[in-house]
């Protein structure tokens, strides 16, 4: 992961000034950021700008989990691979190769970034609604690898909406799922707040069955993130 981390940071340093000019970003709760050691970073997912916004405010290298089909998108595919992106099927299945990549992230004491909503919020395409239900894969990664979770949220203060630049027929040709091909609008941030909460200790979810622990941990993280959205920083 050392090579990927260096590439990620080079890309980040190049892109950051452009992101800073395009979007007014304010980060809160940065004292909660885990500055070293393995951690899973979770965030809500309402725009394709989210990983860039979060990476802008997060000082460490992030190995992002991304939907497998996004690795078929030109340019993004190459950038994701060289910067340590890890593909995951939208049905929750993950290849042996990707599992090994995740284990390497934790072995190196790095950060795994994941959006527990998957693409479901963007498929819903209602940017005024709250978070949708979480996929619990991130909770399994936490419990099985004994890794704490750092919840965060992106709150739009000012944004606009535009048509998806890639036409549905082209998205279909690229092998994207039907529901993704039918997404009509995307959120474009103008001003946002990024809020980091206190980490969730994985040790509270080690006794009992894995299935029940995954469900409980997923609910705890989701409730924490909702609280961050509705808390003192959530006001425009």
User: Which of 78-82, 101-105, 199-203 has maximum average pLDDT?
Assistant: 199-203
**Kind plus residue range of the DSSP H or E element containing 141:** helix 137-145
Average pLDDT score over residue span 129-146 = 95
pLDDT for residue 78 = 60
Query: Is 5 within the bounds of a domain?
Result: yes
Query: Is 97 within the bounds of a domain?
Result: yes
What are the structure tokens assigned to 148, written together? 């704490």
What value does the mean pLDDT of the chain take? 89
Domain hosting residue 152, numbered range: 1-229
End-to-end CA distance of the chain: 38
Query: Is 234 within the bounds of a domain?
Result: no
pLDDT in tens, 45-77: 999 999 999 999 999 999 999 877 777 766 566
pTM, rounded to two decimals: 0.91
Query: Is 133 within the bounds of a domain?
Result: yes
Number of structural domains the chain divides into: 1
Query: Is 235 within the bounds of a domain?
Result: no
């Amino acid at each position: 992961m050392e090579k990927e981390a260096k590439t990620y940071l080079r890309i980040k340093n190049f892109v950051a000034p452009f992101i800073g000019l395009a979007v007014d970003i304010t980060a809160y709760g940065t004292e909660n950021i885990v500055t070293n050691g393995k951690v899973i970073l979770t965030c809500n997912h309402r725009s394709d700008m989210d990983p860039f916004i979060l990476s802008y405010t997060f000082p460490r290298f992030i190995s992002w989990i991304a939907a497998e089909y996004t690795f078929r998108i030109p340019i993004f595919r190459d950038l994701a691979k060289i910067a340590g992106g890890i593909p995951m099927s939208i049905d929750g299945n993950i290849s042996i190769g990707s599992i090994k990549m995740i284990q390497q992230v934790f072995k190196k004491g790095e950060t795994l970034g994941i959006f527990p909503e998957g693409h479901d919020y963007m498929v819903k395409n209602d940017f005024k609604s709250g978070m949708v239900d979480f996929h619990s894969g991130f909770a399994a990664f936490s419990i099985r690898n004994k890794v704490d979770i750092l919840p965060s949220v992106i709150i739009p203060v000012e944004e606009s909406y535009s048509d998806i630049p890639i036409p549905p027929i082209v998205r279909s040709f690229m092998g994207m799922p039907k529901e993704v091909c039918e997404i009509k609008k995307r959120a474009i941030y103008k001003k946002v707040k990024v809020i980091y909460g206190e980490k969730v200790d994985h040790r509270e979810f080690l006794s009992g069955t894995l299935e029940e622990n995954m469900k409980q941990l997923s609910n705890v993280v989701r409730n924490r993130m909702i609280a961050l959205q509705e808390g003192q920083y959530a006001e425009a």
